[in-house]
Amino acid sequence: MLRTRDRTKRLASIKNSKLKIQNSAKNSPSASGNRSDLWEHWKQLCVQVVFLGVISGAIALSYSSAKMGLQAIVNPDASLWLPAYLPAWARIPVSHEATPQTLPDLRRSLQAQGFAVGEAVPLVATGDSRQPDIALPLFPDPDTCSRTCQNLLEVRVYQAVAPANAPQPSRTYFRQVERVEVEGPAESFAIAPLANHLSGRAGSNRPLPLKALQRFSGEVPNDGGVWLNLVGDRTEGQTHLVYGQIYRYHPQRQHLGQMLQWTSPEGQLPGWQNLTGDGDLELLVDRSVGLEPDFEIYQLRSRDFLPNPVRLSAVSLAEPIIEDRAYKDALLLARRRLWSPAFDTMQAVIDSYDRNGRSFPMAARAQFDVIQLHAQVADAQAGASRASPAQQVLADLIDGRWKEALEAFEAADDRTEIVELLRSDSGRLRQRIETALRIDPYNFEALVWEMLVVTAQSDRASALEQLEKRTDVPTEWKASLRQWIEAL
C-alpha cells in the first residue's frame, strides 16, 4: 500500500518536470524573438527622446515668456511691435488702432475706415506733467452722409506712448485705449424744463444727436481726472435749447465714463463753481426758463468703482436732514419754487441754531445754499422793471411776493393781460398759492390771489359762491375778498 503511494508521487513529480521543460523551451529566445525585442527597445528610446525634447522646449518657452513679460513691464509698448518681426504664418492679427501710430497716420487710418475726424482734445489732468493722452471725436464721412454729417458717432481715446522700436523715435505715438459709442439724451429729457411752456409737447424717447466734444473751461476739480462735455442743440419754438452729456476720463485707468446728462433751455453750458461755501467745487446746470430760476447743483462724491472712483450727486431738496417743522416747511416752499419765502424760513432756522450754540448740519447747509442761489435770481427778476403789468405780476407771483403782486395789479390801467395770465395758468401759480396757504392759512394776500385765479378760470358768480361756502376764511375778510373779485 505504501509502495503504491510512493510510485504515484514519483510519477506526478516526473510529469511536472516535463511540463516545466516544455514551458521553458517555448519561452527561450529565437531569431524572430530577438528582432521583436530590439524593435520594442527602439520604440521606448524614441519616446524618451521626444519627451525630453518637449520638456526642453517648454523650459525654453517659459524662459522666453518670462523675458517678454519682463520686457512688457519695463516697456509695455514693445510687444505691440512684435508681429512685424514674426514670419507671416506666425503673426497674430492685431487691430491697426492697437498698433502705436503718429497722429497724422492715425487720422489717415480712421479716414480710410469711413470716419471724419474732429480736432484732437488733449486729456491733461491737473498736476500731470506727462505727455497728454488725446480724445478724437469721430463723425460720419461727409461723402456718404446727408443731414447727419455733424452728428457725433464715437469718441476714441489714445494714450501717448514711446515704443522702444518705433520707426521714428523722435515723434509721439498713440495707441487706442478706450472707445465710446455716442448716443445723446432722449428728446423727452432734453425738453422736460419746457413742459409747462409747450402745450401737449412731452417729447419721445428718440435720442438726440450730440455734435461737439469739449473740455471744461475755467476751474475744474483737482480729482486726478479730465472732465469732458459732449454738446448738442436744437430749436424749440422761440427757445434755443442746449443739451449734452458729461464724461470723466481717468488717465491712470484709461477709462472714459459718462457721469451726467444735462439740458439748458437758456443755452448755458454747465460749469464748476464753489456754491456751497465748503471750499469744494460743485457742478452747476442752468435749467431756467424765462422768469423761472431752475438750477441743479451736483457735488463730487467718492464711490467703490476702481475705473472711475467718483460720482456726481445732486443736492436734493426732497430729503430732510433734521427733524424741525420750520426747516421742513422751507424745503416744501423750495420744492414749489417759492424761493424767497423758502430762504426766509430756512434763514430763521439757522439763526435759531446759532442762538442756541448748535451747529447746523453741512448737508442741510448745502440745501440752504441751493435755496439762496434761486432766491437771489428770483429776487432780481422780480425787482427788475417790466415792460407790462402782467409781466411784473408774474415775476412777483413766481417769487411769492403776494403783496407786491397785488400792488402791481392795482396800479395796472388795463388788466386784460393779467386776467389772461391767470386764466392760462397750468398749475404752476396755483400750486405756489396753495403751498403758501398750507403753511400759513392766514396769509391774506395769498388768499386774495387764490380767489383771483378761481375768478379768472371760472367766472365772478362762481367765485363769489365759492367764497361764501368756505368756512376756513375769517368772516371779516370776506367783504374785502368780494371787492378784489369784483375788481378783476
CA angle, corner 264, sides to 298 and 336, nearest 5? Answer: 70
Answer yes or no: is 65 within a domain. no
Report the candidate in 311, 289, 307, 182 with the shortest Cα–Cα distance to residue 245: 182
Three cell numbers written together for 28: 527561450
Distances (CA, A) of 388 to 102, 340, 391, 402, 414: 62, 23, 5, 18, 10
Considering the domain architecture, whether residues 143 and 281 belong to the same structural domain is answered as: no
Decide: residue 284, CB within 10 A, 0-12 exposed, 13-18 middle, 19+ buried: middle
3-state secondary structure of 217: coil
**pLDDT over threshold 50, residue 42:** yes
**pLDDT over threshold 80, residue 59:** no
Considering the domain architecture, whether residues 250 and 106 belong to the same structural domain is answered as: no
Three cell numbers written together for 36: 521583436
- What pLDDT, on a 0 to 100 scale, did the predictor assign at position 143? 85
Answer yes or no: is 467 within a domain. yes
Answer yes or no: is 48 within a domain. no
Helix (H) or strand (E) run with residue 331 in it: helix 325-335
Considering the domain architecture, whether residues 160 and 228 belong to the same structural domain is answered as: no
Q: Which residue has the higher pLDDT, 393 or 77?
A: 393
Considering the domain architecture, whether residues 121 and 232 belong to the same structural domain is answered as: no
Q: Can you give the residue range of the structural domain that contains 150?
A: 96-181
Answer yes or no: is 454 within a domain. yes
CA 465 to chain centre: 54
| Number of independent structural domains in the chain | 3
Answer yes or no: is 415 within a domain. yes
> What is the CB-side half-sphere exposure of residue 130 using CA atoms within 13 A?
14
Answer yes or no: is 116 within a domain. yes
Considering the domain architecture, whether residues 292 and 364 belong to the same structural domain is answered as: no
pLDDT in tens, 364-418: 999 999 999 999 999 999 988 787 999 999 999 999 999 999 999 999 989 999 9
Report the candidate in 444, 457, 452, 443 with the shortest Cα–Cα distance to residue 485: 452
Q: Which residue has the higher pLDDT, 135 or 276?
A: 135
Considering the domain architecture, whether residues 279 and 423 belong to the same structural domain is answered as: no
Three cell numbers written together for 295: 438750477
For β-strands 226-236 and 239-250, DSSP reports them as antiparallel
Considering the domain architecture, whether residues 284 and 333 belong to the same structural domain is answered as: no
Distances (CA, A) of 159 to 76, 120, 122, 124: 12, 12, 10, 11
Task: Work out the percent of the chain whose per-residue pLDDT is above 70.
Answer: 78
pLDDT band at 205 (very low <50, low <70, confident <90, very high): very high
Residues 6 or more apart in contact with residue 159 via CB below 8 angstroms: 133, 174, 175, 177, 254
Considering the domain architecture, whether residues 340 and 423 belong to the same structural domain is answered as: yes
Answer yes or no: is 6 within a domain. no
Q: What is the mean pLDDT of residues 115-130?
A: 85
Considering the domain architecture, whether residues 384 and 368 belong to the same structural domain is answered as: yes
Decide: residue 46, CB within 10 A, 0-12 exposed, 13-18 middle, 19+ buried: exposed
**pLDDT over threshold 60, residue 93:** no
**Least confident piece of the model among 85-89, 155-159, 179-183, 236-240:** 85-89
Asked whether the beta carbons of 135 and 213 are under 8 A apart, the reply is yes
pLDDT band at 210 (very low <50, low <70, confident <90, very high): very high
Helix (H) or strand (E) run with residue 264 in it: strand 255-264
